[in-house]
Amino acid sequence: MQESLQILNDIFGYSSFRDRQGDIIQSVVDGNDNLVIMPTGGGKSLCYQIPALVRDGLAIVVSPLIALMNDQVAALKQLDIAADALHSNIDEETKRRIHSDIAEGKLKMLYISPEGLLAGRFLEYLKNNNVSLFAIDEAHCVSVWGNDFRPEYVKLSRLKDTFPDIPIVALTATADHATQSDIITQLKLNEPKQFLSSFERTNIKTVVNSGLKRIQQISNFLLSHQGEAGIVYCLSRKSTEKVANDLRAQGYKARAYHARLSADEREEVQHEFQADEIQIVCATIAFGMGIDKPNIRWVIHYNMPKNIESYYQEIGRGGRDGKPAESLLFHSWGDYVSLKRFIDEGEATEQFKIVQSAKLERMWEFATAASCRTNLVLSYFGEYRNTKCDHCDNCLNPPELFDGTKYVQMALSAVIRSQESVSLNLLIDVLRGSNRTEVRDLGLDKIKTFGIGRDVPFLDWKHYVTQMINQGLVSIDFTDRSKLKSTPLSNPILKGESTIMLSKFIPNDKKPKVKVPKLSIDVGNADQDLLAALKAWRLGLAKSQKVPAYVIMNNKALDQISSVLPSNSSELLVVDGVGRVKLMKYGDAILKIVKEYG
């Protein structure tokens, strides 16, 4: 433990372990198998990087993303750690050099894709080369229950067969309960120690609004986020381009990012965003996995994501520096229906469709919940508690509840009298006495409940029926064109035997502004001139070394330097992220800048 702490202080420049990091590192060092579930930004990398340095031999890190591997390797090389990556973009000569480094025992960490690791006789080759541990990053990819199943990950089960005595540490930020057990089974982990960190991100304010006039809502939102970096996630390429265009027209530096862009263009957008040259990226889900930008201050979901794992991972890209960030999710029934159709009409197996549909259902419950949203997410990941979080909209501005039994009875009665043949919108048309042709053609204008809820506006009805669906008072039959059906809970309500509380519908523009929670995080009193000078210095170095700027030093470290104004090496060493190696490399230059501008 002493040695791990020493490495943390000395090489990585951090004073103490976060949460369970110390225990996890110890367990890997001791040679156990481990399952680590930790939210994005929690500090998973150190959980294998430090054991890799403590244990004798070569640590193999399996990662699915080339960009991520390159960044990690660049960051490790900054610390003079012998790390390298083997993937399809590495040229033959470098590959040969890496192989000879492995053979000579010079390498401490090798990042590799699952395909690369399992190709040819590479595993056999490693058998003769003293492997210290295997780290499986994004381990949820091994499970069909996870949200990003990758068939090549399944073959990683061979690792335990080939190396029964080498510890495996499987890490992920997104695994619900079923996925967690499946990772253990698939990777054949041997009596693994399990570390489930809290998934709560207290610095992220969570707000959900209905998806009406989304662009206008985004414009309003951005008024209080001027100059702050953010991501707008959209479901389609078309929406990314539309939103980026609209925002550019309003004077924002925004670009679209999606799978149809060429690799060069994608790289360019990532680079510009990383370097703060553009403020906003409007992206499909393909964006973000390979970037480690600590100062993303907000994340908007233009459309509802397909499951809570994706949603939570995406909002988790905000506020990685620990400072306040805000997330805003738009949801609409239309999004839900398209996602559902997407699953139903896909090529997947029936079993996979059932899982995906259940996940979508939970996402919808989250979006329309009237109670603490954080608790809903936490329980999804197997963490149960019932205290308020105080950083979601429902806790900060609890929705007002009223006795809605009368409305529920009206809606249920309309469902039954229409022979359970209407979908959500049609039901509301019936209740509101619409004279749409479809209503008349189906003879729905003849039933007794036609027009019974005329006084209630359309969107209010939608809000009420959605809550009825969530409370199980009606169900949606997806096998029958999303028609609404009664459930065993319907009858007692119609008979007047139970009371149903509903939340009132409040249009987005009438919602009280959610106060940003006061956080106990030091947002610093950084000297802005000094900070700018440090950033300029860092950019120069990053360009000459061809690495992302944060690899040289992250924003948090620069902020701290600009607040603390260190005047000598020992004061500089106190800064998070400055250890012995970075002090040696950059200490003089930094102290000189502090002297000049501080």
| Residues within the interface to ligand ADP (CB under 6 A) | 14, 17-18, 21, 38, 40-46, 292, 554, 576
Structure tokens, 302: 């233009």
Amino acid at position 288, single letter: G
Give me the half-sphere count of Cα atoms (radius 13 Å) on the Cβ side of residue 467. 22
Of 38 and 558, which has the nearer Cβ to ligand ADP? 38
CB of 441 to ligand ADP, least distance (A): 55
Residue whose C-alpha is closest to residue 368's, from 336, 413, 342, 326: 336
Question: Could you tell me if residue 184 is left (phi over 0), alpha (psi between -120 and 50 degrees) or otherwise beta?
Answer: alpha
Residue nearest to ligand ADP (CB): 43
Of 500 and 553, which has the nearer Cβ to ligand ADP? 553
Of 502 and 575, which has the nearer Cβ to ligand ADP? 575
Question: Could you tell me if residue 276 is left (phi over 0), alpha (psi between -120 and 50 degrees) or otherwise beta?
Answer: left
Amino acid at position 418, single letter: S
Helices (H) and strands (E) in the chain, counts: 28, 17
CB of 49 to ligand ADP, least distance (A): 8
454: number of Cβ within 10 Å: 10
**Coil, helix or strand for 222?**
helix
Of 119 and 521, which has the nearer Cβ to ligand ADP? 521
Distance CA 483, CA 493 (A): 20
Residue whose C-alpha is closest to residue 272's, from 290, 253, 286: 253
474: number of Cβ within 10 Å: 23
Distance CA 472, CA 415 (A): 14
Place of tokens 């862009």: 261
What is the end-to-end Cα distance of the chain in Å, rounded? 38
CB of 474 to ligand ADP, least distance (A): 41
CB of 90 to ligand ADP, least distance (A): 22
Crossing angle of helices 373-380/308-315, nearest 10°? 120
Of 79 and 428, which has the nearer Cβ to ligand ADP? 79
Of 13 and 305, which has the nearer Cβ to ligand ADP? 13
Tell me, rounded to whole angstroms, the distance of Cα 477 from its chain centroid: 30
CB of 154 to ligand ADP, least distance (A): 23
Q: Decide if 329 contacts 207 (C-beta within 8 A).
A: yes
CB of 485 to ligand ADP, least distance (A): 43
CB of 171 to ligand ADP, least distance (A): 7
Of 27 and 425, which has the nearer Cβ to ligand ADP? 27
CB of 1 to ligand ADP, least distance (A): 14
CB of 44 to ligand ADP, least distance (A): 3
Structure tokens, 446: 């003849």
Of 383 and 576, which has the nearer Cβ to ligand ADP? 576
Q: Decide if 141 contacts 149 (C-beta within 8 A).
A: yes
**Sheet containing 58-62: order of strands:** 83-86, 109-112, 58-62, 131-136, 168-172, 34-37, 193-196
CB of 291 to ligand ADP, least distance (A): 11
CB of 6 to ligand ADP, least distance (A): 13
Distance CA 408, CA 117 (A): 58
Residues written for the chain: 598
CB of 8 to ligand ADP, least distance (A): 6
Crossing angle of helices 458-470/405-417, nearest 10°? 90
Of 168 and 208, which has the nearer Cβ to ligand ADP? 168
**Coil, helix or strand for 451?**
coil
Of 133 and 396, which has the nearer Cβ to ligand ADP? 133
Of 123 and 275, which has the nearer Cβ to ligand ADP? 275
Residue whose C-alpha is closest to residue 183's, from 38, 312, 35: 35
Distance CA 312, CA 307 (A): 9
CB of 324 to ligand ADP, least distance (A): 17
Of 292 and 309, which has the nearer Cβ to ligand ADP? 292
Of 265 and 571, which has the nearer Cβ to ligand ADP? 571
